[in-house]
Amino acid sequence: MSGDQHLSIEDLLSGLRAAGEPSRLRLLALLARSELTVKDATAILGQSQPRISRHLKLLAEAGLVRRYPEGSWVFYRLAEDAAGDLARDLVARLTPSDDVLEADAARFDALRKAKAEEAAAYFAAKAQVWDQERSLHVAERDVEAAMLRALGSKPFQSFLDLGTGTGRLLELFSPLYTNALGVDASHDMLAVARANLAGQGLTQAQVRHGDIYALNVPPASFDVVAVHQVLHFLDDPARALAEAARALRPGGRLMIVDFAPHELEFLREEHAHRRLGFSREQMGRWLQGLGLDVEDVTDLVPAAAGNHSALTVTLWLARDPRVVTDLPLADLTREVA
């Protein structure tokens, strides 16, 4: 939620007018459950695309919902501010047993199930490739355990996962954060992530299509930023790290998980790896050049360390040394140029 918890008379009346129409109120009830595209809303409400687009446009103009372009699609979600809270309050006062709302909910559940099945099929198609790579290093559960140990048990406000993939880190760290955003360049992976988050009921986490080299998030807006097994796919890892550092709040932490240097050329040829790992020294220079303090570096060595094909996973944890202030939290849902 933004720092401003209140609405002006004009904004309040604008929100009430926008919500005061049956179809728009039904849309708000659906958006309180999950983000939707125009195509989704058209299928659920059984109305034409132009009509749904018009309703969503009016709700967005009133500030009740936000729109997030993603390629040729646009996702809509309730705003994370006082206007969004007004919409949630209105939805909370609706009778759940209303026949129209129950029918909408049933169609919504059927749509979500179909999407989950599509996501599972995509994941299954890629599983063999991923399993081959995972077999070369320590078990993922050990990597996740190390990440949890590094972050500690103290809750924090905001989490950003760059290259979120299936959204696994959004699930893993969900007991710690208040709100989270996952960014990925693959529409297919975002479909998997959305299905996974919906299955876990993680409404406090969102995923967005985005460019890791040009993040569309406000600067200094996240307490923790993670870059998990992403940098080795990039031509310019240092540039991506600079964007990650820009997103850190004062005192915020940047967690990087990637491979230590290795000589497995087939990963470049068959798995699209651009870099064959990163040394402690190289990563340290990049992080220090960004003004970050390296707090911890952990090597996770596989049991078959003597095997020339085994990969060591390294975890770096760095902190923005700027002093934390009591300034209000940034609005993480606001898009910036």
CA distance 192 to 189: 5
* 176: its two tokens: 């710690």
**Given the structure tokens 């699609």, which residue do they identify?**
73
Among the listed residues 259, 326, 252, the one whose alpha carbon sits nearest the alpha carbon of residue 292 = 252
Fill in the DSSP letter of residue 231: G
Q: 3-class SS at 93? A: coil
Statement: the pTM of the whole predicted model exceeds 0.85 = no
Q: What is the pLDDT of residue 2?
A: 42
State the distance between the two ends of the chain, measured CA to CA, in whole angstroms: 21
Q: What is the pLDDT of residue 186?
A: 86
Per-residue burial over 105-127, b if 16 or more Cβ lie within 10 Å, else e, is: bebbeebbeebbeebeeebeeee
Q: What is the pLDDT of residue 329?
A: 53
Among the listed residues 81, 331, 34, the one whose alpha carbon sits nearest the alpha carbon of residue 197 = 34
Residue 22 has a CB neighbour count (10 Å cut-off) of 9
Q: Are 17 and 76 in contact (CB under 8 A)?
A: no
| Residues 148, 153, 154, 159, Cα dihedral to 10° | 30
Q: What is the pLDDT of residue 135?
A: 57
Sign of the Cα torsion 177, 181, 184, 190 reads: positive
Describe the crossing of helices 237-246 and 280-289 by its angle, rounded to 10 degrees: 40
Q: What is the pLDDT of residue 3?
A: 42
How many residues in the chain?
A: 337
Q: Splitting the chain (337 residues) into consecutive groups of 10 residues, what average pLDDT does each group show?
A: 71 95 96 89 95 96 88 81 94 93 93 75 60 68 95 97 94 97 90 89 92 93 96 88 97 96 81 85 94 96 66 96 65 47
Residue 334 has a CB neighbour count (10 Å cut-off) of 15
Return the bridge partners of 296, or none.
317
Q: What is the pLDDT of residue 245?
A: 97
